[in-house]
Structure 1
Amino acid sequence: MSGNVRTNQVNPRFEEFCLAIGRDDRSYSSDLLIQAEEILTNKLGQPMLGQDMLTVDRSVKELIHRHRNSEIPMDDIPEEFLDPLMSTLMSDPVILPNSHKILDRATITRHLLSDHTDPYTRTPLTMDMLIPDVELKKRIETFIATKSKEMNNE
């Protein structure tokens, strides 16, 4: 990250990465990034890398705040756009080849980190077996764009 994220605004190249960090409640901790900065700066003599940790932390906080303020109310989201396991709006829907269930790629990716099976059929499943649901993704993107425009006009 060195040299690329040292501004008040989040570098677009890292926006998706920082947002993914912030959304993962199981792994993200601002305190851990601050501790990493202290270790890098004080114990390892790497102040620039330490600053990068603080920059990532600020970026994650900013993106999460921005994202929460622009969220579409759950009542407005059609059920077919919701991930069936997490009940969140899907951004990258994929079809599981054996069960033919549709999940968000982020949800099934987290599942596959600890269990290499389809959560519905328990048959073997790997990332390369996932089938992108291009049509559903387009409909979701259109829905989000329409809702965002409506929310900005209010």
Structure 2
Amino acid sequence: MRNISDIIEDYLKKIIQSSNGDVIEIKRSEIADQFECVPSQINYVIKTRFTVEKGYIVESKRGGGGYIRIIRLTPKSKAEIIDEMMLLSNQQLSQQASLDLIERLYEEELLTAREARLMSKIMHRQILSIPLPARDELRAKIFKELLMTIKILD
């Protein structure tokens, strides 16, 4: 059974897909009322499921007329996606950030499901079993090399 966070994420993604410009503005309290959850649940979903690594920018305005704006980044080309990811994986890359980037590569059809699973395994902390921050530095180097291979072969 899916949890409430998955359901809210799917709902917001469907709204974004149906919008004309890949931008939506929502009121946190209205979405919370709709799903009968606390507003902090909406914050959690937005903070963890709509990240830059996953291809989103989130803006918010607090107060009485406040809103949360979610913008889906739509690169012009597959090469632009890879270049953007190269910048995001600059010096260090956490396991979660690498998994988010891999998920986006899969969603943008730059990876097959099998390739995404293989890359995810390589990025795992059990494989890169060295202390931090060296682990995140090594993960970033490996990820960049994988990106360059994808870019060259695409």
- What TM-score do the two structures reach when normalised by structure 2? 0.31
Higher Cα Rg, which structure: 1
- What TM-score do the two structures reach when normalised by structure 1? 0.31
Q: Greater strand share, 1 or 2?
A: 2
